[in-house]
Chain A
Amino acid sequence: MSKLGFNFPKKPRKTALYEVEDWYQKLLAEKLGREYEPIKRSNFGEYDMAVNYKTSVLEESKAIEKVAIFNIDHMAQIRFTGADAACLLDKVLPANVQSMKIGQCKYTILLKEDGGVVDDLIIMRIAEADFILVINAGHDITDLEKGMKADIDYIMDRKKADEDVQAVDISDQVVKIDIQGPLSYKLVTSLYGNSVVKNRRKPQKNMRFFTFNEFEYEGHDYIISRTGYTNRWGWELYVPAAVAEEQFKRIVKGALELGGLLVGLGGRDENRISAGDVGLPLYGNEYDQQHTPTNCPLFAAAIDMTKDDFVGKKALQADIEAGVDKRMVLIISEGIAVNRGVYKDGKRLGSITSSITSPNVPQEKREFLNSKRKSVNGAEGTAAIGLAWLYHNPYQVDENGKDITKTEAGAVRIAVELYREDKQQLPTGKPLKGYISGDGVNPATAPKPLRHIQDL
């Protein structure tokens, strides 16, 4: 068996930007005239990560309206090279890896044989026989006693002896910094020049969504991809570790000048849910090893069911043939609904898997809740936003059996009650008011042409 994954760390690890985050914390305290205090941190993927900085989770959630910077060094990058790299990845992953173009990014989901989710990730094709997989934090650890196997080992275990594939975790060489929001274009081009965001094949045009460029800056090699975890315009930047601290300082200083912020885990969680029809799922919340991702958002983009085979295909095929009736929905509610059941007219539809307070819900969508809570109403109110897996369909379906989430009159909204549940999974206490929102919270801008933000 392959053992390329790291051992389980004795204590949560520090990202390469851990110390310089404290420099930022002091800068921010001074700039805002607030008292300095150490950064509030939490363990995420065996990394000691900032929940928020000297700005609140709500303030940081709102930064995405301008530009939001994220320290994403906790995520890992693994590189696969060799003549059979494409073949091995294609055999294991549900995406069509063979057909990927150089310079393309692809989102996919690593599955178990039984269809449970091991991880979700982005593949970048660097060259014909050279791929980088960007995987979730903590999925770089192999500890069989804890039941953990790193993605790198999970994939390499399926390599045949005569196949030519080398795999290496390159996370210590690169530091990932995400730059997202409408002013991200201005920030990226002011720091690294206009050419870095151009189409590599047609340099007069902008790069497309889900592509990447390699570029050199002051003698160091970078990668920039037009991707992100906010569903808004934005980039993920892979900075060489040797210059990560100084580049991070330039980036966050630039962001502050544009009215943006460095955003911690709290704001990141809000930002992944608050754009697009159903937001973006998170491994550990919406995905786990016990459930198949059938019908998940991006299913068709991530999983190519026409491929001959991939790990987990039979299980997904069985799900589809059995007519599995589940779907992920976005729910706007008057309060945080973590771990609550979703009910309509007394019937249990499913359960909430993520929920966080958001300052980005338009007033009309908050007031539609008809909540008595003062915090929900008015121009400056907040509402909770969350995702749920439903096992009973609240939507009407069209003649092709597809859920009708939007009509000519607008997005469909379905009122639900969100109850706490006892050990028998029966509803208890008073419910929170909520509704399923067929068009989510805000529109996704990520795939829209860059010309909308070029001149901001």
Chain B
Amino acid sequence: MVKEDLYYTESHEWVRVEGNDAYIGITDYAQHELGDIVFVELPEVGDELESGETLGSIEAVKAVEDIVSPISGEVLEINEALEDKPEIINQDAYDDGWLVKMTISDKDELENLLDAQAYKELIEE
């Protein structure tokens, strides 16, 4: 499942822009590939991230994957529910399974990301 109104990365993160801020998560395709998620490592509120920098990691039963920040900005909020229930990402990767909310320090960076159509093509390859 790919949602229309999001930006995507080749490393399977999504970005939902809300005003000057953005929510970041991993895609439904990524959660399915990873399998049962057992732990999520997130940054701290106030951390400054550059695009391309490691934001945290997601651990599944068989593998651990780094999450790369798709944009630059400051972390405003982290999804604390994931600490107790990391499996939320498996159940709802695009909404309840969001990872962080951050500021967008450079809106031009969004142009580097994939749109839904391009991401669909990527995962169908």
Which residues of A pack against B, CB within 8 Å?
A: 40, 51-52, 56-58, 266, 269, 335-336, 338, 356-357, 373-375, 382
Pairwise interchain contact A373-B64, C-beta atoms closer than 8 A: no
* Cα separation A335 to B38 with both chains bound (whole Å): 9
Pairwise interchain contact B62-A269, C-beta atoms closer than 8 A: yes
Pairwise interchain contact B36-A335, C-beta atoms closer than 8 A: no
- Residue in B59, B60, B83, B84 whose Cβ sees the most chain A Cβ within 10 Å: B59
Pairwise interchain contact A51-B64, C-beta atoms closer than 8 A: no
Contacting residues, chain B, for A52 (C-beta < 8 A): 35
Q: How far is the CB of B55 from chain A (nearest CB, A)?
A: 12
Pairwise interchain contact B36-A56, C-beta atoms closer than 8 A: yes
Main secondary structure of the interface of A (DSSP, over half): mixed
Pairwise interchain contact A40-B35, C-beta atoms closer than 8 A: yes
Pairwise interchain contact B59-A336, C-beta atoms closer than 8 A: yes
* Cα separation A269 to B35 with both chains bound (whole Å): 15
A-B residue pairs, 9 tightest by C-beta: A57-B61, A357-B61, A336-B64, A266-B62, A56-B36, A375-B38, A336-B59, A335-B59, A357-B38
* Cα separation A52 to B36 with both chains bound (whole Å): 11
Pairwise interchain contact A374-B83, C-beta atoms closer than 8 A: yes
Pairwise interchain contact A58-B84, C-beta atoms closer than 8 A: no
Known contacts A338-B64, A357-B62; A373/B39 CB under 8 A: yes
Pairwise interchain contact B63-A338, C-beta atoms closer than 8 A: yes
Q: How far is the CB of A32 from chain B (nearest CB, A)?
A: 15
* Cα separation A450 to B62 with both chains bound (whole Å): 32
* Cα separation A269 to B63 with both chains bound (whole Å): 12
* Cα separation A356 to B83 with both chains bound (whole Å): 20
Q: How far is the CB of B22 from chain A (nearest CB, A)?
A: 24
* Cα separation A357 to B34 with both chains bound (whole Å): 13
* Cα separation A257 to B63 with both chains bound (whole Å): 31
18 residue pairs bridging A and B, Cβ less than 8 Å apart: A51-B35, A51-B62, A52-B35, A56-B36, A57-B35, A266-B61, A266-B62, A269-B62, A335-B39, A335-B64, A357-B38, A357-B59, A357-B60, A357-B61, A373-B39, A374-B84, A375-B39, A382-B38
Contacting residues, chain A, for B84 (C-beta < 8 A): 374
Pairwise interchain contact B61-A58, C-beta atoms closer than 8 A: yes
Contacting residues, chain B, for A58 (C-beta < 8 A): 36, 61
* Cα separation A335 to B63 with both chains bound (whole Å): 10
Q: Which of B1-45 contact A (CB under 8 A)?
A: 35-36, 38-39
In the complex, per-residue mask of B40-71: 1 if CB is within 8 Å of any chain A CB, else 0: 00000000000000000001111110000000
Q: How far is the CB of A361 from chain B (nearest CB, A)?
A: 13
Contacting residues, chain A, for B39 (C-beta < 8 A): 335, 373, 375
- Residue in B36, B38, B63 whose Cβ sees the most chain A Cβ within 10 Å: B38
Contacting residues, chain A, for B97 (C-beta < 8 A): none
Contacting residues, chain B, for A56 (C-beta < 8 A): 35-36, 61
Q: CB-nearest residue of chain A relative to B32?
A: A40
* Cα separation A373 to B63 with both chains bound (whole Å): 17
* Cα separation A40 to B59 with both chains bound (whole Å): 18
Contacting residues, chain A, for B61 (C-beta < 8 A): 56-58, 266, 356-357, 382
* Cα separation A106 to B64 with both chains bound (whole Å): 36
Q: How far is the CB of B80 from chain A (nearest CB, A)?
A: 12
Contacting residues, chain B, for A374 (C-beta < 8 A): 83-84
Contacting residues, chain B, for A269 (C-beta < 8 A): 62
